[in-house]
């Protein structure tokens, strides 16, 4: 019996149903990968849009402030007895970016713990909406105010960040995100184990034209995404061989929401994953959003070749025994569980920023030829230690 698209529950869930194969023995490897991934993102600012880069920079700023105790800006006597500003490394790196950081703030938004610490500290010392000018000479009274405000910000961040409450919040936040990551890894493993041993992975970035995004009412993007998933049954030529999906919502510049969507197909009728991705993107663009939307097809040959050159390819055809590609899939799954981006449409913590179709049950029929290669469950995790 062909595994029909209509057998796939369309519930986009944050749940992380456990796989019967799950073993706590693999969690340390997944945890190591996830921690390393987050450290790399924050260190190098790996990002997909300008706003995300700004949020990552703010998180790096806060982390460096918490790890240091030196005042940001001091006054000292320079050559010829003239007073001058002495800036710490943190001040040299970040003072000039303060206006950009402050401009990203929006009320009623739930941020990640480090971002929340930054904006709460800014609010408490009264600099939300403030503008820092370049530091001139200490003889300039305004420059003294700017230096003092910057120092106050560092002190407040350290004061609030040293509390047991904040440290617990930070730990709990990581634990939740790591739990989601483990759940997504097990979900993708279940697709290979229970549905099909060869899957076609298509990634699309579903976006909006900037001028249209500014005109959209709150909640419209989520309504469009629901329409996209709910109407799959009416488009069998595009989705009848779909095995499952994962999505993440993010907020781009000027408040424009967009989605990263991973679609897993059973390869029943797939002739060309780039062409299928283009057709689905055009469906989003022309039917779902009625011209408001646009898309980026990550399965284009140029994009796939770029990732393949660096050994990072995780889309297109993926065999269950291809440890390299399945290992590479961990990176986009970790990306989905990051939390620098904000959730703005529903201004409450319960707003979902990602989801997936339901975990396939044991009765899900796995089609195709019998497996010719016997590999251990999650054997691709052996590559984690090699990428330290």
Long-range contacts, stretch 32-38, CB < 8 angstroms, 24+ apart: 32/384, 32/385, 32/388, 33/330, 33/334, 33/384, 33/387, 34/177, 34/178, 34/181, 34/334, 34/337, 36/387, 36/388, 37/330, 37/331, 37/334, 37/335, 38/334, 38/338
What's the pLDDT score for residue 11? 41
Listed as ranges, residues in the chain with pLDDT below 50 are 1-23, 342-348, 388
pLDDT in tens, 324-340: 999 999 999 999 887 65
In DSSP notation, 271-291 reads S-HHHHHHHHHHHIIIIISTT
Per-residue pLDDT tens over the stretch 146-183: 999 999 999 999 999 999 999 999 888 889 889 999 99
Helix (H) or strand (E) holding 87: strand 83-87
pLDDT digits (tens, 9 = 90+) for 266-287: 977 788 999 999 999 999 999 9
Amino acid 148: pLDDT: 94
pLDDT of residue 25: 53
> What pLDDT does 340 receive?
54
Position 376 scores a pLDDT of 74
Tokens of 375: 């590999």
- Percentage of the chain beyond pLDDT 90 is 55
Q: Is the pTM of this model over 0.85?
A: no
């Amino acid at each position: 019996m062909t595994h029909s698209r209509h057998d796939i529950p369309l519930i986009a869930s944050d749940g992380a149903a456990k796989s019967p194969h799950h073993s706590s023995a693999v969690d340390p490897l997944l945890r190591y990968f996830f921690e390393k991934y987050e450290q790399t993102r924050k260190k190098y600012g790996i990002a997909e849009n300008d706003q995300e880069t700004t949020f990552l920079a703010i998180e790096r700023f806060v982390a460096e402030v918490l790890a240091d105790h030196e005042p940001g800006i001091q006054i000292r006597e320079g050559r010829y007895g003239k007073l001058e500003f002495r800036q710490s490394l943190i001040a040299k790196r970040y003072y000039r970016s303060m206006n950009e950081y402050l401009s990203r703030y929006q009320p009623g938004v739930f941020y990640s713990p480090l971002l929340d610490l930054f904006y709460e500290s800014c609010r408490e010392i009264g600099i939300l909406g403030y503008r820092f000018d370049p530091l001139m000479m200490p003889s300039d009274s305004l420059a003294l105010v700017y230096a003092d405000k910057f120092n106050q910000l560092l002190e407040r961040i350290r004061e609030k960040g040293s509390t047991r409450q904040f440290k617990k919040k930070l730990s709990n936040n990581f634990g939740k995100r790591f739990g989601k990551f483990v759940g997504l890894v097990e979900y993708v493993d279940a697709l290979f184990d229970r549905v099909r041993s060869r899957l076609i992975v298509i990634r699309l970035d579903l976006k909006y034209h900037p001028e249209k995004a500014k005109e959209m009412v709150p909640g419209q993007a989520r309504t469009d995404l629901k329409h996209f998933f709910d109407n799959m049954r009416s488009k069998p030529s595009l989705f009848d061989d779909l095995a499952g999906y994962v999505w993440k919502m993010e907020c781009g510049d000027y408040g424009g929401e967009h989605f990263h969507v991973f679609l897993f197909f059973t390869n029943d009728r797939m002739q060309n994953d780039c062409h299928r991705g283009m057709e689905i993107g055009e469906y989003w663009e022309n039917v779902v959003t009625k011209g408001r939307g646009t898309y980026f097809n990550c399965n284009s040959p140029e994009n796939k070749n770029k990732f393949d050159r660096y050994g990072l390819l995780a889309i297109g055809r993926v065999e269950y025994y291809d440890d390299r590609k399945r290992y590479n899939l961990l990176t986009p799954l970790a990306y989905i569980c990051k939390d620098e981006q904000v959730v703005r449409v529903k201004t409450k913590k319960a707003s979902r920023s990602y989801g997936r179709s339901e975990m396939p049950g044991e009765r899900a029929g796995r089609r195709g030829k019998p497996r010719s290669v016997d590999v251990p469950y999650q054997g691709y995790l052996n590559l984690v230690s090699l990428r330290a």
